[in-house]
Structure 1
Amino acid sequence: MPAESKAQQQAAGAALSAKRGETKKSNLQGASKEMYETMTEDELEELASTDHDDLPDKKD
């Protein structure tokens, strides 16, 4: 499932970074914190790797 907005793609990237231990979980907030708790690393990687050139900043 590809990301639907740049904001979603960025939140997934932050959550993925925390899942991998590259950043602290305590640095997460909002959507990225929820993604960290509810999604697998593979799901987060799929969202985070979405090409964001044609994505809107935020989903309507």
Structure 2
Amino acid sequence: RRDGIVPEQWIDGPKDTTVEDALDKTYLPSLKTFEEEIMDAMGIVETRRAKKSYWY
């Protein structure tokens, strides 16, 4: 290989990600925007009302 690493000779170090951690499914899909997810995580409650919008 160009980077000089031979996969068969590789030894995992303490900072390497384990195979179990790499294959662990952690994503939970939701219908929220990024801002809404942060607000839920931090306990922020939105009290303002959305401005009316018109489509022509």
Question: Fold match, TM over 0.5?
Answer: no
Normalized per residue, the structure richer in helix is 1
Which of 1 and 2 has greater Rg?
2
Which TM-score applies when normalising by structure 1?
0.27
Relative contact order: is structure 1 or structure 2 higher (C-alpha 8 Å, sep ≥ 6)?
1
Q: TM-score scaled by structure 2?
A: 0.28
